Amino acid sequence: MKPSILVARAVFPQILTLLEQHFDVTSNQDDVVWSPAQLIAQLQGKQGAFTTGSQRIDAELLKACPDLKICANMAVGYNNFDLDAMTAAGVLATNTPDVLTETTADFGFALMMATARRMAESEHFLRAGLWNSWRYDMFAGSDVHGSTLGILGMGRIGQAIAKRGAHGFGMKVIYHNRSRLDAALEAACGAAYVSKSDLLQQADHLILVLPYSPEAHHAIGAAELAQMKPTATLINIARGGIVDDAALAAALKQGTIAAAGLDVYEGEPKVHPDLLTVPNVVLTPHIASATMPTRMAMAQLAADNLIGYLVHGKPLTPLNPQVVKA
Ligand code: 8YV
């Protein structure tokens, strides 16, 4: 008998076809956003789950779903998983590293450029029919080339952004991370390690690329924003909750920093109402990894993890490999 799996959100039809070759598949192609209780009900009798960032897998769910053996997240971030609870329950967790690195770095760079050069704000102005003449300071923003790029969180995506800045745009790149990169990697990225306060004080453009964890909650709040240059931009492509969105909206209103570009939000898909009313912020709906080839590669890797583990006993990108029996 084939193992049973749940695909918790809509996915590429080709991926469903692949999964159906190996599993009895229940899928959510209507893309209903289930409540935790509905998710538990859907997972009854399932050995595997294909998840996205919007399904919380915690101790309560695991207790109610004793057949579950693996949750394969179609995301590199896995703050929707309580990894300790999954390990304790013997449930394997997998994510999708590497396949989205360059696409996400491209987007981080694009959001930084759009923010620094006020592209969204000026487009709204044009669409509103307000463009009547040229003016010397109309939508004058800040330069990206030759400026100082600060990166908080220097994993794969942070490193890919550093390379774009240092080698493509002649930027001085500084970073802060829990652990310092080795010298060879720093040289390859063209990046120098600094303290968090030096990062805040020196960056012209500060990009957040760190994973969410309770310690990272509000890593950027009013006190941190106050340390930044009044001409600086802040870009968040990491996770909602790393920035205190209310404090950021206040800082943007008061001119504490010049502008922000956000792809992720506290409590998304809701967006803090104050952010919607300030002009100097570019807002996108969590699309940093959203190109068709990359989303396909993410879905393929999540599917391959399910097949690898439930069919062959060998997942590709396990987060808690201690769960896999030797
Ligand atoms: C996903 C992401 O689109 O990979 C991640 O961590 O944030 C995005 O690429 C999102 O999490 C949906 O699963």
User: pLDDT tens digits for 192-220?
Assistant: 999 999 999 999 999 999 999 999 999 99
Calculate the average pLDDT of the chain. 97
Q: Is residue 52 within 6 Å of ligand 1 at its C-beta? A: yes
How does residue 325 score in pLDDT terms, banded at 50, 70 and 90?
A: confident
How does residue 296 score in pLDDT terms, banded at 50, 70 and 90?
A: very high
The C-alpha angle with vertex 311 and arms to 309 and 313, in degrees rounded to 5, equals 40
Determine which one of 22, 56, 217, 286 is catalytic.
Answer: 286
CA 102 / ligand 1 centre spacing (Å): 14
* Dihedral over alpha carbons 176, 180, 185, 191 (to 10 degrees): 30
pLDDT score recorded for residue 254: 98
Whole-prediction pTM = 0.97
Q: Which CATH superfamily is domain 4-99+292-325 in?
A: NAD(P)-binding Rossmann-like Domain (3.40.50.720)
Cα separation, 300 vs 294, in Å, equals 10
Architecture of domain 101-283: 3-Layer(aba) Sandwich (3.40)
Residue with tokens 């690329």: 209
Looking from the CA of residue 290, the nearest atom of ligand 1 is 3
Which residue's CA lies nearest to atom 8 of ligand 1? 75
Average pLDDT over residues 241-266: 98
Q: pLDDT at residue 89 above 70?
A: yes
Q: Is residue 289 within 6 Å of ligand 1 at its C-beta? A: yes
Q: Which of 71, 100, 156, 305 to mutate to test the pocket of ligand 1 (most atoms within 8 A of CB)?
A: 100
User: pLDDT tens digits for 48-78?
Assistant: 999 999 999 999 999 999 999 999 999 999 9
Annotated active-site residue 268? The verdict is yes
For the chain, where are the E strands, in sequence order? 4-7, 24-27, 48-51, 70-73, 92-94, 148-152, 172-176, 191-193, 205-208, 233-236, 259-262, 281-283
Listed by start position, the domains of the chain span 4-99+292-325, 101-283
Q: pLDDT at residue 326 above 80?
A: no
How does residue 14 score in pLDDT terms, banded at 50, 70 and 90?
A: very high
Q: Is residue 320 within 6 Å of ligand 1 at its C-beta? A: no
Q: Kindly list the distances between the CA atom of residue 266 and the CA atoms of 2, 127, 212, 236, 290, in Å, as whole numbers in the listed order.
A: 40, 29, 11, 11, 20
User: pLDDT tens digits for 164-191?
Assistant: 999 999 999 999 999 999 999 999 999 9
How does residue 115 score in pLDDT terms, banded at 50, 70 and 90?
A: very high
Q: Is residue 238 within 6 Å of ligand 1 at its C-beta? A: no
CA 67 / ligand 1 centre spacing (Å): 26
Q: Which two tokens stand for residue 2?
A: 């084939």
Q: Is residue 53 within 6 Å of ligand 1 at its C-beta? A: yes
Annotated active-site residue 102? The verdict is no
Nearest to 49 by CA among 27, 75, 30: 27
Determine which one of 205, 239, 272, 295 is catalytic.
Answer: 239
Average pLDDT over residues 151-172: 98
What is residue 225's three-state secondary structure? Answer: helix
CA 77 / ligand 1 centre spacing (Å): 6
Annotated active-site residue 286? The verdict is yes
Which residue's CA lies nearest to atom 2 of ligand 1? 75
Which residue's CA lies nearest to atom 1 of ligand 1? 75
Tell me if domain 4-99+292-325 and domain 101-283 are identical in fold.
yes
Average pLDDT over residues 80-87: 98
